[in-house]
Amino acid sequence: MTVEQLIVLAVVQGITEFLPISSSAHLILVPYVTGAADQGPLIDVAVHVGTLGAVILYLWRDVIRMLAGLGRALRGRADPGARLALQLVVGTLPLVAAGYLDSRYLGDTLRSVEVIAWATLGFGILLWVVDRSGMTVRRIEHLGYGGALFIGFSQVLALIPGTSRSGITMTAARLLGFERAEAARFSMLLAIPAIVAAGSLAGYDLYKTGDAQLTADAFVAGGLALITALIAIVAMMGWLRRASFLPFVLYRIALGGALLAWIYMG
């Protein structure tokens, strides 16, 4: 894979991973737009792992609070940090089960431009409807285990390319009345266990291949994705503290509409 391809993939992933516009859809579309060969799932996961580093850096206080809280919980002391960590576990369980079934029975069958187009459009409109009608009164501290499970079940829909894991979890959180920035914050935290699991499996697959060049490509792409993701996170959170999801919705409608026109009108 050329350096130019790696840069494009890393920048695309970094910008789109935590924005509610579907990073997986954009990664699938890159080969269609550039004419290059599909980069394959291992590079896809590598750039996702790079963005994991970005979210840990941005939310380091939450990460430390959860780790410290788990330590106190092991000593029999109730702690809000441990509670948040357990909520992430609860929210991840539905995706783990659905992801296993998806990889076993569906594979790449949903990895098509048509699926991406309809999912991008439909779930973008859903985000707009929920964002306009939902209250903005709750913070992560108000989240219960039932709410975490509800948001976790919404993640399952992200197995459909174009849905956007970030987008659908933010939609679910907004439906529960969370402030926009808080919805984005929990969505990013919820990405940590999912990406760690996928990254561990991909790392093992890389080790089994013994392909030194593929391994080097994965590290380069992951590092570049980390930098671009951190910039995108800072920009998105600054925007959501004072405005709505409308720009992301408009982008999704424009992208979904353009893809549908390309598919059905040639």
Residue bearing tokens 């894991």: 165
Using the structure block, give the residue that is written with the tokens 């949903």.
110
Map residue 178 onto helix, strand or coil: strand
pLDDT digits (tens, 9 = 90+) for 76-122: 888 899 999 999 999 999 998 888 887 777 766 777 889 999 999 99
Q: Taking residues 144-149, what's their average pLDDT?
A: 97
Range of the domain at 160: 3-265
User: Over the stretch 241-254, which tens digit does the pLDDT of each residue have?
Assistant: 999 999 999 999 99
* H/E stretch holding 11: helix 3-16
- Report whether 187 contacts 170 (CB < 8 A): yes
Alpha helices in 17-104 (DSSP H): 23-34, 41-58, 60-74, 80-101
Range 46-60 average pLDDT: 90
Average pLDDT score, the chain: 88
Q: Which amino acid is at 91?
A: G
Band of residue 39 on the pLDDT scale cut at 50, 70, 90 = low
- Local structure of residue 38 (DSSP, 8 states): P
- Could you say which DSSP state residue 138 is in? B
pLDDT category at 31 given cuts 50, 70, 90 is confident
Counted domains in the chain: 1
